[in-house]
Structure 1
Amino acid sequence: MDALKSSSAQGLSEAEVQKRQQQFGPNELIEKGGKHPLRLLWEQVSSVMVLILIAAAVVSALLGQVTEAVAIGAIVVLFVILGFVQEYRAEKAMAALKKLAVPLVRVRRAGQLVELSAQELVPGDIILLEAGNAIPADARVVESANLRVQEAALTGESEAVEKQTAVIPKPDLPLGDRLNMLYLGTNVTYGRGTAVITATGMNTELGKIATLIQGVQDDPTPLQKQLDSVGRILALAGIAVAVLVLIIGVVAGESLEEMFLTAVSVAVAVVPEGLPAVVTITLALGAQRMLRRSALIRKLPAVETLGSVTVICSDKTGTLTINRMTVTVIDVAGHFLELAGTDEQAPAYLKLADTPDDLFTNRPPAIGLTLAAGA
């Protein structure tokens, strides 16, 4: 309370509220430059395989092969539409987070109990909560009468957590262990309580998640890399064959104009027009099958990778953190093998926790057998 310069009995004054609103801004999740639909559409059109098909359709039309041109165009449209729909749904992840915001909240300001929009909250505000209320921002519990909060949206824990007012000496505990804190996006299921706002908007834990979502860089999947590679190889092969046909024809005394049209027709014939459509339809069917098994796929190319997964390692809540589960300790026959240096920058290495002996020159047999089995 002292750090936030607030009082549980009086709350903040109107002058202080205005000052903090200017300092911290509105209590809302800000969508930072999501991909425009036109950009999503361009990303679908600009893939190597689609560009080759578009070129093939144009050449076919110029050569008078209208039926083939229309067929290739239809395949391109189908490929682009299916990919665009999946990407557009992925961009709606931020909107799903915004739905967790709450419209109204009871606040104590200048000694008076008022009902305000959650967007008007600032750090230091005193809020009153009861069963059924959604938490409007991150807050520290000041008073608790059997206050229990459902935090599944953040921690994955299915059971409601009973909150307390006692000071927790360890500052860096996981969210689920911070029993005196409340977080935006969670809900009160039982009891009542009073809390002081500690963070609003994008500074909340939910806001940090929103920031991470907006900053995700999408790497191409193995399937996308393979399709691009196939597209480049086919393009080069088509050009090479067309040039070879043109040269042979001209050397044999054929008309240059006639051989040019023949070479172009051969280059178009090399392109597998049905490949993108077959791949897209196959992935769409795979996505539907995985959905029936409760696996929701936002991006079609991910189906190929996820479809190969046989084991997912996660904690009991099913929560994944940095997309990589890391072994930290191996306990074999009373010997502890630690994996040290597991941060993002330094390379990891193995060491024996119960002896200073070098792992590779004097290791227990049980450790050696375990490492061999896992290799």
Structure 2
Amino acid sequence: MNHIEEKTAKPWHSSTIEDTLEKLQVRPESGLSDSDVKNRLLKFGKNELIEAKQKTIWSILWAQLTDTMVVILIIAAVISLLIGDLKDFIAILAIVFINAIIGLVQEYRAEQALAALKEMATPIVKVRRNGELQEINSIDLVPGDIFILETGAIIPADGRLVEDVNLRVEEASLTGESVPVEKDKDHLSEEQAPVGDRSNMVYMGTVITYGRGTAVVTATGMETELGKIAEMIQDVGDEQTPLQKRMDRMGKTLAWISLVIVGVVFGLGLLRGEDPAEMFLTSIAIAVAAIPEGLPAVVAIALD
């Protein structure tokens, strides 16, 4: 919900045209003035999808290699090498490598998805400002701008319809529905209505398949519905899934279990009078064998 809408009790799709224009302080026949645009650009910023700082390959690799389960595997690999078990050493390192590659691929796909969303924005848009029809860069749109809707155009921002003539919009980028939606400026949707049911609204990145009309901008940039999707895509790599959280807990549990195994086996060996060095290597080997080496890679593939 953008900053203007926060001041009101009703969302845009539940507000009449008159109420919407009053809230946005604009007249549809004249549009915003240059001073209005300047002030709103300062307040709301540019109409663009902002990319979070891209992660470097090294930072992604570091995140993969510092995962609890992976750290345990690396320790197990080093121990395997020290005790002369070259086969296990190579196998465990291979699993760690595969897991890291899968993580890199997942991050790359997330970045590509965001790039695809940015391509949905149209570069030029017709607006009514200072009582005149102008063509401007869509990045300069602000809430309250009156913009023109024409067949074939990609909608440059979220907006409330002011005029419509047989208007139909394809909203698959937001709702997944491939059939164009018929729009109606006079329809008032329920406050909790999903995007696909808001027939008096148009949204950034959707395509006009038929008809024409005008709309008033209600949200720009990251405040649009498309912007919220872009934000979710960028956040998905930073937040662990429930399965990953369980994996992290399991990794810590396995670390403690491994330490207990080492201690118990080593202690029993000493009580039986076994050689300390040999018992230490034996207990380490048993602990390493108890670790499910392939689990991180399997989980990464499942989440891919």
Give TM-score scaled by structure 2 length. 0.75
Whether the 8 Å CA contact 2:69–2:247 is kept in 1: the answer is no
Structure 2: distance between partners of 1:169 and 1:86: 38
Aligned partner of 1:128 in structure 2 is 148
Aligned partner of 1:300 in structure 2 is 301
Structure with the larger RCO, 1 or 2 (CA within 8 Å, 6+ apart):
2
Whether the 8 Å CA contact 2:77–2:93 is kept in 1: the answer is yes
* 3-state SS in 2 of match to 1:73: helix
**How big is each residue's C-alpha offset from its partner over 1:214-257, in whole Å with a ceiling of 9 and x where there is no partner?**
55643332x8736963x556545544443344334444545434
Structure 2: distance between partners of 1:71 and 1:174: 50
Residue 191 of structure 1, aligned match among 211, 217, 223: 211
Whether the 8 Å CA contact 1:250–1:256 is kept in 2: the answer is yes
Kindly report which structure 2 residues correspond to 1:1-375, keeping only aligned pairs within 5 A, or say none: 1-32=21-52, 38=58, 40-90=60-110, 92-166=112-186, 168=188, 173-214=193-234, 217-221=239-243, 225=246, 229=250, 235-273=255-293, 275-276=294-295, 280=298, 300-302=301-303
Instruction: Name the % identity.
Output: 48
Gaps of 5+ in 1: 284-298, 304-375
Aligned length: 282
Gaps of 5+ in 2: 1-20
Structure 1: distance between partners of 2:302 and 2:63: 14
Structure 2: distance between partners of 1:226 and 1:2: 53
Whether the 8 Å CA contact 2:189–2:198 is kept in 1: the answer is no
1:81 to partner: Cα distance: 1.8
* 3-state SS in 2 of match to 1:136: coil
1:137 to partner: Cα distance: 0.8
Cα 1:226–1:125, aligned 2, differ >3 Å: closer, same or farther? closer
Whether the 8 Å CA contact 1:185–1:206 is kept in 2: the answer is yes
**How big is each residue's C-alpha offset from its partner over 1:125-170, in whole Å with a ceiling of 9 and x where there is no partner?**
2222211101111122233232221123233433323333436386
Structure 1: distance between partners of 2:32 and 2:141: 11
Question: What is the one-letter code of the residue matched to 1:29?
Answer: L
Q: CA RMSD in A?
A: 3.4
Structure 1: distance between partners of 2:195 and 2:287: 60
Greater C-alpha Rg: 1
Whether the 8 Å CA contact 1:79–1:276 is kept in 2: the answer is no
Give TM-score scaled by structure 1 length. 0.63
1:103 to partner: Cα distance: 1.3
Structure (1/2) with the larger helix percentage: 2
Structure 1: distance between partners of 2:261 and 2:198: 67
Whether the 8 Å CA contact 1:40–1:88 is kept in 2: the answer is no
Comparing 128-137 with 10-19, greater Cα deviation is found at 10-19
